[in-house]
Amino acid sequence: MAASKLEQLAGMVEQNPGNVLARYGLAMEYATQGAHAEAVENFRALMAASPNYVAAYYQAGRVFQKMGDVAQARAVLEQGVEASIRAGDSHARGEMEALLAELR
């Protein structure tokens, strides 16, 4: 039987925890499946290892929003705005600011 997408991504992260694309994919797959705690755990690991990986902040904010944790969503999105400024990513900054405005 073929391994699921989740199993494949988890295996990739296990073999190389520093693989940011695999870690992001794993976090997104957990989020898609509604495994919010696991998604947040992987987004946090990604943000710690690669603080300018701005997509992680946006997606983590959305997961916290789905969980009903507005305070955590705001906190991570505010960090993401700072990361997007450092990275020079105005598009990501705009998306995070828009989501922040929804949360207020």
36-67 confidence digits (pLDDT tens): 999 999 999 999 999 999 999 999 999 999 99
Q: SS3 for the chain, per residue?
A: CCCCHHHHHHHHHHHCCCCHHHHHHHHHHHHHCCCHHHHHHHHHHHHHHCCCCHHHHHHHHHHHHHHCCHHHHHHHHHHHHHHHHHHCCHHHHHHHHHHHHHHC
Q: Which domains does the chain have, with CATH numbers?
A: 5-103 (1.25.40.10)
74-92 confidence digits (pLDDT tens): 999 999 999 999 999 999 9
| pTM exceeds 0.85 for this model | yes
